[in-house]
Structure 1
Amino acid sequence: MISLSLALCISAFGSLCLGMPRHFEQTFQRKSPPLLLRALRGLGWLLLGLAILPAIKALGPSVGVALWASALTIAAAGQALLLTYQPRLIMPVSLLAPLLVLPLLAV
Structure 2
Amino acid sequence: MLLALLLCYVGFTALCLSMPRHHDELLGYKPSGQRVKRLKLAGWSLLGVSLWAAVAAGGWGLGLVDWFAVLMASALALVLLLPYRPKLALALAAFSLLAAPVAAWAQC
TM score, norm. by length of structure 1: 0.89
- Equivalent position amino acid for 1:76 in 2: A
Structure 1 residue aligned with 2:27 = 28
**Distance in 2 between the 1:89 and 1:6 partners?**
17
- The separation in 1 between residues aligned to 2:59 and 2:66, in whole angstroms, is 10
Q: Displacement of 1:102 after TM fit?
A: 3.7
Structure 1 residues 30 and 101, CA, compared in 2 at 3 Å: closer, same or farther?
Answer: closer
**Separation in 1 of the partners of 2:78 and 2:16?**
8
Provide the aligned length of Structure 1 versus Structure 2.
106
Evaluate the alpha carbon distance shift between residue 101 and residue 39 of structure 1 in structure 2; reply closer, same or farther with a 3 A threshold.
Answer: closer
| Higher mean displacement: 87-96 or 37-46 | 87-96
Map of 1:55 onto structure 2: 54
What are structure 2's unaligned runs of at least 5 residues? none
- Does the 8 Å contact 1:5/1:68 carry over to 2? yes
Is this contact kept in 1: 2:7–2:100, CA < 8 A?
A: no
Q: RMSD of the alignment, in Å? A: 1.5
Structure 1 gaps of 5+ residues are none
Match of 1:7 in 2: 6
Secondary structure class of the residue paired with 1:60 = helix
How do residues 64-79 of structure 1 correspond to structure 2 at under 5 angstroms?
Answer: 64-79=63-78
